[in-house]
Amino acid sequence: MGEGVLDGLCRELQEEIGWNPPIPQGKTRSDVFQLFGSFSNVYEYKGIKYNTCDMYFSVYAPGLKPEDLELEKDENSAVRFLTPEEIDFSEFAFSSTVQAVKTYLSSK
């Protein structure tokens, strides 16, 4: 509550993977993050199903490596950078994420 989409995105990146995306001088968050889609989802939390609208962004981060990240251990066990051919869609937790990745890949 009370934060914009890009503020929430940056907060989540910091909380979950310990990464604060650099914003080049003269640029804004809107220049660095590009919304490429949103998809509906159902998220169950404490036995209650919530209908959500999941938003997906692309980010330009040249040189970023998994070892640059500091994972929140209770939330994430690892980060892997994959080529499109290495993606196993059965490993995704949410159907909205599958839709987003497939949409993103088909746009390239």
The domain total for the chain is: 1
In tens, the pLDDT along 76-107 reads: 888 889 999 999 999 998 999 999 999 999 98
pLDDT of residue 41: 92
pTM (predicted TM-score): 0.79
Share of the chain above pLDDT 70, in %: 100
Task: End-to-end CA distance of the chain: give it in Å, rounded.
Answer: 34
What does the pLDDT look like over 47-62, one tens digit per residue?
999 999 999 999 888 8
Domain of residue 86: give its range: 5-106
Using CA atoms, how far apart are residues 2 and 18, in angstroms rounded to an integer?
A: 22
pLDDT score recorded for residue 78 = 85
Place of tokens 């994959």: 82
Q: What is the largest CA-CA distance in the chain?
A: 46
Alpha-carbon Rg of the chain, whole angstroms? 15
